[in-house]
Chain A
Amino acid sequence: MSLLSMNAELSFKQKLLDLNWGLIFMVVLLAGVGFLSLYSAGNGDFSKWALPQFSRFCVGFVGMIIVAMIDIRYWHRLAYLIYIGGFVMLIAVEVMGHVGMGAQRWINLGFIRLQPSELMKIAVIIALARYFHLHDAGDLRRLRLLIPAALIISLPVGLVMLQPDLGTSLMIVMGGAALCFMAGVPGWIFVTGIISAIIAAFPFWHFMHDYQKQRVLTFLNPESDPLGAGYHITQSKIALGSGGFSGKGFLNGTQSHLNFLPEKQTDFIFTLWAEEWGFVGGMALLLLFSLIFIYCVWIAFRCRTRFARLLSIGLMINFALYMLINVAMVMGLIPVVGVPLPLVSYGGTSMLAALGSFGLIMSCHIHRDSKIPKI
């Protein structure tokens, strides 16, 4: 009972001991897969992609630990502020994009090009977790109380659609919906939502950009455009398949190195990995991801507050969405949408977002017994 009601400050040492070293180990392992692949993607040139990725990882890693050590109540209090901050940045790129040249989706901070839409995915989850912390499952049967949650999701989605970035906006919707589901929003709402989304898809097709339509159409029949969009999928499948059981060996992936595989350092890095390390390597990577998911679910179940619980599971789902979409894409199961493989693909913002997520999840774990006021 005393443990339950313990609300005293945890000492630094206690926190450090309570860090999820197992999770940290897996994260480092995953990033290591990334460095190896990027070293190979750079044709054995460490400085091309692997080094910048490594240095960003080091910075992000320290950030992750700091985020984990910060009291969860502090994050709870900051939740809406983070959301608003992300939203303002989103508007800023939208405005700058119109004023400047073309559609710009990032803010240049010098060492990193920050994509606010990536950060917004996390901000939405934090904000929703705080909102649902206030309203438990019983409350959520009242539809009126669902409106703010719907707004938290739909406002940034609307902005991201304007960019126009269909993939990211769909991911925000899916991540937000999953969190609503976990928070106990009545099941019939999701059924209705999915049905109406299918119906709405028809007029939506009309408003899609030509390049987006092209992507969907080519996906359905990749051979129709062997030099354009279908090229990516076809080449990615050949590269994957030719890896076989044991792979072609590190640095020996012919398809990736002969430049048949486009974007091999970003979206198609899984292909490069599985070509060189084969089925064994590919499955090991999928397994590593799965273990991370399970670890996060375990953390969620240990949390005593609704906020920590929803936050950790929501961030895990977001992370999982990245991975599932990316891998399904390179295997030719879904259209090419341009989603990176978190922690492995070359790119600053997605690395930052992933490490920040794990920092928050660990903060949830360390402060799993802290009471959080219902505000």
Chain B
Amino acid sequence: MARRSKNKDINEERLFTRRAFILGGLQGGLVAVLGGRLAWLQLVEGRRYKTLSDKNRINVKMLMPSRGVIKDRRGELMAYNEQNFRALVIPEQTDDLHKSLIRLQGLIDLNEKEIDRILERSKKSASFVPLELKDNLNWEQVSRIEVNLTGLPGVFIDVGEVRSYPMREATAHIIGYVGAVSKSEIGGDPVLSLPNFKIGKTGIERAFDKQLRGTAGTSEIEVNVRGREVRELKRNAGRVGATIQLTIDHALQNYMQERLSDEKSASAVVMDVHSGAVYGLSSSPSFDPNLLTRGISAEKWEELLSDPGFPLNNKAVAGQYPPGSTFKMVTALAGLETGVITQNTSVHCPGHYDYGGSRFHCWKRGGHGRVDLIKALSESCDTYFYKMATEVGIDKIAEYANMLGIGHKLGIELSEERPGLMPNKAWKMGHHGEYWRAGETVIASIGQGDIQTTPLQLACMTARLVNGGFQVLPWLVARQDDVFTRDTVWPKIPVQKKHLDLIERGMRNVTTGRHGTARSSQISERRYYMGGKTGTAQVRRITMEDRLEGVQNKDLPWKYRHHALFVGYAPISKPRYACAVVVEHGGSGSATAAPIGRDLLHHVQKLDSASVQIAQDPDAAIVPVAKPKPVTPAKPESEEGGVD
């Protein structure tokens, strides 16, 4: 037994020794290979590599590509690159860096802290590496340095690029802004690792960042033994980023921003009902994107973040509001299409509607009396829609809302866009695990409850209602370099034309009818007449006490006041423009939002934005094409001309 185990041990020992020799031999062999390779590289090929190394004085640097510009439909620049002058110094060329800095202090206002920081940095890098002293120099500072250059050895001016947005607040939400590349954005394109490279953070700058970015060039620079640059040998300039031309009309855009800025917080969209091209898209309050590209102070940034109007948010595409009465066209269409109502259906409105043991109030306390569809729309009678909706049902209403562009993203080229919400029975079950209650359909019929829409969706809905039922989508980018990005043939919504015409008639009566809710806001010039619909969306439930005490909405604190909404289109003879306006906590749609809608639709028609062709020739696009077209006044009923 002992013998056997000893034998076994000996066998083990032998196996281990044998295998150790195999592995050791393999390892020794590999080390020998490495040694041989080292000898080959350093001894045999050494001379060749030595010459290569001497020649290896060519440093390849990446050149920052110029970012593409962004223009409006008239060719007006909305984002471009401005020259950014920086002062730099090569420490070894100065007599005494500290003294030079003191001398510069007076010329470009450097404070003590900045000087300390520069001195600190100079210790860390080789003395021939240029150090940045200050960037974003103005002309005065540049010329002051230029004049004193002889007394400042080693100091020089370098020209870089900084993004500039000439329309400032007016385009901040559409164009967005650029900023330093964050860690999570690095990867892929090597150009992102360039120091000072800027990347689109929001808006078109973000959505079309890859196209705007361009391709980095390279510069081969000969350096001497100590790494100092001697001369440039080869330069491949890279490619400038694409020019992006938007459907926006800068004149309208400027006007919109200014018009909205009267309100504390508002947003609006103006678009083409046939093509879907967006002419103006505004959110107020806004911010100056130039502050963000040139460095914003911490206080200013805090101020932007804490503003109750959320200036950094694009409320036109990301603000989600209950549509209020502007939703009544959807309910009406669902009613007509399902056959629940016809042109002749009429309802008696006593000022309220009792359903399922609850009382639902119409906005008009005394009631509207006998109401048909046209009157229900133009005078915004709630009772009519309450009654109809209980028969149509929420799922049908949601179906038609979706057809009109509500409850989902419309795919505009802004990543900030939000989907809104169009609830139905399945949604309620899925999100709350509860059955849909019939009472919810009643309030949904007038755009209250869980329904959330963006101003963009409301404009799109209006466009689809008045363009003959084509499923237009809003879009902003018309052209990228020479390539037109859109062809605008839209599918049709499966609804009857006569139903759409009926609804359009109702909307026309809102502004032209004797009791229309927006009759006081009709455009003064007859050829520009608009149709539309007002909406006042409750933010807070109106309690019984409020009703009894007769609390006026305008007496409530700002954040509890109703949202004011208006959707409209013009001209009524041959609709071309659709718009949506939402004034947050603006009180009432007819008093606050409708006048804004009127001004926007009036202005866009005067500017005749739709007739501005986006030029084929890239050079032609720079020339403004704003020629007011002679418009022949005509009677609204038979008018065919006007804007085309």
Q: Which residues of A line the B interface, CB within 8 A? A: 43, 101-102, 136-138, 178, 181-182, 184, 227, 235, 237-245, 254-255, 257-260, 274, 278-279, 282-283, 286, 289-290, 293, 297, 300-301, 306, 309, 313, 317, 320, 324, 327-328, 331, 333
**Sampled A-B contacts (21; CB under 8 Å):** A102-B184, A137-B15, A182-B20, A184-B15, A237-B41, A237-B49, A238-B53, A241-B46, A241-B48, A241-B49, A242-B53, A244-B46, A258-B56, A258-B59, A258-B223, A259-B59, A289-B31, A297-B20, A301-B20, A331-B34, A331-B41
Least CB separation from B39: chain A residue: A279
B12, A184: Cβ atoms closer than 8 Å: yes
Contact A328 B34, CB 8 Å, known A137-B11, A258-B59, A320-B27? yes
Q: How far, in whole Å, are A182 and B21 apart by their CA atoms in the complex?
A: 10
B23, A182: Cβ atoms closer than 8 Å: yes
Write out the residue numbers on chain A whose beta carbons fall within 8 Å of the beta carbon of B27.
293, 317, 320, 324
- The 8 Å CB contact of A331, one of B37, B60, B227, is B37
A227, B60: Cβ atoms closer than 8 Å: yes
Chain B, range 158-181, C-beta contacts under 8 Å to A: none
Mark contacts of B1-44 with chain A using CB atoms, 8 A cut-off: 1 yes-contact digit, 0 otherwise: 00000001001100111011011100110110111011101110
Nearest-Cβ distance from residue B424 to partner chain A, whole angstroms: 34
Q: How far, in whole Å, are A293 and B28 apart by their CA atoms in the complex?
A: 9
Nearest-Cβ distance from residue A1 to partner chain B, whole angstroms: 13
Least CB separation from B125: chain A residue: A43
B: contact size bracket: 35 or more
Mark contacts of B39-81 with chain A using CB atoms, 8 A cut-off: 1 yes-contact digit, 0 otherwise: 1011101111110111011011000000000000000000000
B42, A279: Cβ atoms closer than 8 Å: yes
Q: A290-B31, A297-B24 are in contact. List 10 more A-B contacts (CB 8 A).
A: A101-B183, A101-B184, A241-B42, A242-B52, A259-B59, A286-B34, A293-B24, A309-B16, A313-B23, A331-B41
Least CB separation from A187: chain B residue: B19
Least CB separation from A310: chain B residue: B16
Q: How far, in whole Å, are A124 and B43 apart by their CA atoms in the complex?
A: 40
Q: Which residues of B line the A interface, CB within 8 A? A: 8, 11-12, 15-17, 19-20, 22-24, 27-28, 30-31, 33-35, 37-39, 41-43, 45-50, 52-54, 56-57, 59-60, 126, 183-184, 218, 223, 225, 227
Write out the residue numbers on chain A whose beta carbons fall within 8 Å of the beta carbon of B12.
136-138, 184, 306
Nearest-Cβ distance from residue B181 to partner chain A, whole angstroms: 14
Write out the residue numbers on chain A whose beta carbons fall within 8 Å of the beta carbon of B30.
324, 328
- The 8 Å CB contact of A238, one of B24, B49, B227, is B49
B46, A245: Cβ atoms closer than 8 Å: yes
Write out the residue numbers on chain A whose beta carbons fall within 8 Å of the beta carbon of B31.
286, 289-290, 324
Nearest-Cβ distance from residue A277 to partner chain B, whole angstroms: 10
Q: How far, in whole Å, are A257 and B125 apart by their CA atoms in the complex?
A: 12
Least CB separation from B182: chain A residue: A101
Write out the residue numbers on chain A whose beta carbons fall within 8 Å of the beta carbon of B37.
328, 331, 333
Write out the residue numbers on chain B whose beta carbons fall within 8 Å of the beta carbon of A282.
38, 42
B52, A241: Cβ atoms closer than 8 Å: yes
- The 8 Å CB contact of B42, one of A243, A258, A259, A313, is A243
* CB-based closest 4 A-B pairs: A241-B49, A242-B53, A279-B42, A244-B46
B43, A245: Cβ atoms closer than 8 Å: yes
Nearest-Cβ distance from residue A264 to partner chain B, whole angstroms: 14
Contact A184 B19, CB 8 Å, known A136-B12, A283-B35, A327-B34? yes
Q: How far, in whole Å, are A241 and B56 apart by their CA atoms in the complex?
A: 13
Write out the residue numbers on chain A whose beta carbons fall within 8 Å of the beta carbon of B34.
286, 324, 327-328, 331, 333
B56, A260: Cβ atoms closer than 8 Å: yes
Write out the residue numbers on chain B whose beta carbons fall within 8 Å of the beta carbon of A240.
38, 41-42, 49
Q: How far, in whole Å, are A309 and B16 apart by their CA atoms in the complex?
A: 10
- The 8 Å CB contact of A245, one of B19, B22, B42, is B42
